Amino acid sequence: MAPIAVITGASSGIGAATAIALGRHGYQIVAGARRVERLERVAGEEGLALALDVTDESSVKAFVREISKRFGRIDVLVNNAGGALGLNPIAHAIDDEWIGMWKTNVLGLMWVTRACLPLLRKAKYGHIVNIGSIAGFETYAGGAGYTAVKHAVRAITKTLRLELNGQPIRITEIAPGLVETEFSVVRFHGDRNAAKAVYQGLKPLTAESACRRGRARRHCEPARPACPESACRC
């Protein structure tokens, strides 16, 4: 049987590109997100598209139950679902945005990982890939809600490495710089002009290049003027 790769947030951007790339490399992909029609297009005929809301633990449990029933194991888990909401300074922080970012990027990642670990242990070698960010290394004005959750993703990744030491499960964090996806449209609540302005005068990564190691390195641009290029761990 082909190795099983589970990708959260696979309906667009980096998650979709990752699912397509893994499918091309012979993985049986399981794509999860809320927009199932888009997921089905990404998964194609060979892949499996399953509804998933990482902010709802019962949805996470149903998602993993279905994978367990169909495949009985997971070889690769890509915790990609996430994103930013708003760009307000802390003095004007909006609670719902911070709570939303925390639930999607941190609690969601924990719920998915905790539910998938028994199936990762059933693989000969398991692999958890967390999609972090340059924002897990650096900060920027207005970005505290998002940089805080990506710093948390980094802390969780490092902790998992300690906790799973000695077990055949590899832990990887990918920390891209600026990638042009739906990320900024979501951050600015659908304001496409505000989203477009983020990438003006910069050469952002594409979703496809962000999930191709060698190419991503060559094209890595600092996400913000203050970001050292060396921090782009693509």
The residue among 168 and 228 lying less far from ligand NDP, judged by its C-beta, is: 228
Among 3, 23, 47, 82, binds ligand NDP (CB under 6 A): 82
Asked if residue 220 binds ligand NDP (CB under 6 A), the reply is no
Residue closer to ligand 8X3 by CB (options 94, 226) is 226
- Residue 224's binding partner, choosing from ligand 8X3, ligand NDP, none, with beta-carbon cut-off 5 to 8 A by kind? ligand 8X3
Helix (H, G, I), strand (E, B) or coil at 35: coil
Residue 129's Cβ-count burial label (10 Å; 0-12, 13-18, 19+) is buried
What is the per-residue binding string for ligand NDP in 32-71, x denoting contact by CB under 6 A?
Answer: -xxx----------------xxxx----------------
Query: Which residue, chain included where needed, has tokens 């340059």?
Result: 134
Residue 71 neighbours by CB under 8 Å, 6+ apart: 1, 4, 28, 30, 119
Strands 4-8 and 48-51, by their bridges, are: unpaired
146 is catalytic: yes
CA angle 135, 79, 15 (to 5 degrees): 85
Task: Tell whether residue 178 is a contact of ligand NDP (CB under 6 A).
Answer: yes
Tokens of 186: 């979501």
Active site residues: 146
The residues of the shown chain that bind ligand 8X3, judged by CB under 6 A, are 133-135, 143, 146, 178, 223-224
